[in-house]
Amino acid sequence: MVGHSEGMREIFSTITRVAPTRATVLLCGESGVGKDMIARAIHHHSPRADRPFVKINCTALPENLMESELFGYEKGAFTGANTSKPGKFEQADTGTVFLDEIGDVPASVQVKLLRILQEREFERLGSNKVKHIDVRVLAATNVDLRAALEQGTFREDLYYRLNVLPINIPPLRERKEDIPYLAGFFVKKLGKDLGSPVQSISDAAMQRLLGYHWPGNVRELENVLERSMVLANGAILEAGDVKLDTAPAARFTVADNFLPEGTTLDQYEQSIIREALRRANGNKSQAARMLGLTRNALRYRLSQMGLES
Ligand SMILES: Nc1ncnc2c1ncn2[C@@H]1O[C@H](COP(=O)(O)OP(=O)(O)O)[C@@H](O)[C@H]1O
Ligand SMILES: [Mg+2]
């Protein structure tokens, strides 16, 4: 992992201190800042390194499948359950579970996670036999869970259990000192993977990388360098070779974007939510991401609007 900024060096030292323990860690940060990478680093520097690391993407699972995926089920638990099957937690026994996008976990599953964190026990669906497991839990979120707490879509007791050791990973635009080191690291790595002639980055090209705001963080930096290197011809990546995603975004100011004439804040918020759903083709998880909300927080607003089925 590359990082020379004060923020990242602090995170590295936290990783070194928490990795050997079984403490629950909550990784907070925008998409692309390195949450997955840090979760894996914690696991690999823990006494569980040679035990399973099981990642669960809470957004990817529809609510009705999530329970059976996480906790497993017994034969006959529901129509189509022809055999019994262990869940992800059982697969991770003696190892680490990484719950990604924890803010998207529905209320029914939040209760069961709380029980796992408190008692290290659960039951498979369709069974009343209590199972005990030994798992270390790591979780990640790219939205502010406190907002979900205030809206009542995320349980407070679960939040405090998860938030034992929070690690906040700053966005790349707040640690620009890391950009030259990350860029150098990716040029080397991608040069090999792509068979590209590019060996280094010119000063002018570096200035372009430093001037950009990186909404997609380290992941976007890696993608931009890959695209730029595929198209470049020389051994040195020049400013003109740098293919950024867009022009730097204009900063939002309330002065020129105040409420449209005759609209209330509620109406305006609702029209933005409708537009996000339209752009996401009705996909609530995607719409929630566009709005910087958890899926549950969006659901809550939709129910307030009388739109949640
Ligand atoms: N500090 C870092 N050093 C090297 N590569 C990094 C670093 N942070 C992120 N990356 C790379 O950036 C990409 C996005 O990181 P990831 O951990 O998936 O972010 P997140 O889970 O926060 O969305 C990955 O390819 C990862 O390897
Ligand atoms: Mg991730």
Helix-strand-coil percent breakdown of the chain, rounded to 5?
Answer: 45, 10, 40
**Lowest-confidence segment of 73-77, 252-256, 300-304 by average pLDDT:** 252-256
Structural domain ending residue among the three candidates 170, 195, 225: 170
Structure-model confidence comparison of residues 176 and 305, the more confident one: 176
Ligand 1 atom with the shortest distance to the CA of 100: 21
What residue type is 240 in one-letter code? Answer: G
Cβ–Cβ under 8 Å, residues 181 and 225: no
**For ligand 1, atom 10, which residue shows the shortest CA distance?**
34
Residue 57 φ then ψ, to 5°: -90, 105
Nearest to 94 by CA among 118, 61, 120, 74: 120
Question: Alpha-carbon torsion 232, 179, 169, 11, what sign?
Answer: positive
What does each C-alpha distance from 179 to 26, 32, 40, 184 come to in angstroms? 25, 14, 22, 8
- Confidence check: pLDDT of 97 > 80: yes
* Residue 278 pLDDT: 86
- Mean pLDDT of all residues in the chain? 92
* Residue 280 pLDDT: 85
- What is the tally of structural domains in the chain? 3
Q: Would 151 be classed as within a structural domain?
A: yes
Residue 309 binned pLDDT confidence (cut-offs 50, 70, 90): low
Is residue 19 domain-shared with residue 158, that is, in the same domain?
yes
Most distant CA atoms of the chain, gap in Å: 66
Range of the domain at 192: 176-241
Q: Would 150 be classed as within a structural domain?
A: yes
* Residue 247 pLDDT: 53
The Cα–Cα gap between 142 and 27 comes to 8
Residue 290 binned pLDDT confidence (cut-offs 50, 70, 90): confident
* Residue 98 pLDDT: 98
Q: Would 247 be classed as within a structural domain?
A: no
Query: Could you tell me the pTM of the whole model?
Result: 0.82
Q: What is the CATH number of the domain that holds 206?
A: 1.10.8.60
Structural domain ending residue among the three candidates 170, 197, 214: 170
Chain center to CA of 133: 25
Q: Would 98 be classed as within a structural domain?
A: yes
Q: Would 1 be classed as within a structural domain?
A: no
Place of tokens 């990478």: 37
pLDDT in tens, 49-65: 999 999 999 887 888 78
Q: How confident is the model over 124-145, as a mean pLDDT?
A: 95
What are the helix and strand counts (H, E) for the chain?
Answer: 13, 9
- Confidence check: pLDDT of 70 > 70: yes
Ligand 2 centroid, distance to 41 Cα (angstroms): 13
The Cα–Cα gap between 107 and 153 comes to 7
Cβ–Cβ under 8 Å, residues 204 and 16: no
User: Could you give the 3-state DSSP secondary structure of residue 28?
Assistant: strand
Is residue 182 domain-shared with residue 165, that is, in the same domain?
no
Is residue 64 domain-shared with residue 196, that is, in the same domain?
no
Is residue 94 domain-shared with residue 127, that is, in the same domain?
yes
Number of neighbouring beta carbons within 10 Å of residue 5: 17
Cβ–Cβ under 8 Å, residues 54 and 87: no
Is residue 134 domain-shared with residue 180, that is, in the same domain?
no
* Residue 251 pLDDT: 58
Is residue 220 domain-shared with residue 273, that is, in the same domain?
no
Q: How confident is the model over 197-217, as a mean pLDDT?
A: 96
Ligand 1 atom with the shortest distance to the CA of 36: 17
Q: Would 246 be classed as within a structural domain?
A: no
The Cα–Cα gap between 104 and 295 comes to 5
- Confidence check: pLDDT of 139 > 70: yes
Give the number of the ligand closest to the Cα of residue 34: 1
Q: Is 222 in the pocket of ligand 1 (CB under 6 A)?
A: yes
Structural domain ending residue among the three candidates 170, 187, 222: 170
Q: What is the CATH number of the domain that holds 144?
A: 3.40.50.300
Is residue 97 domain-shared with residue 191, that is, in the same domain?
no
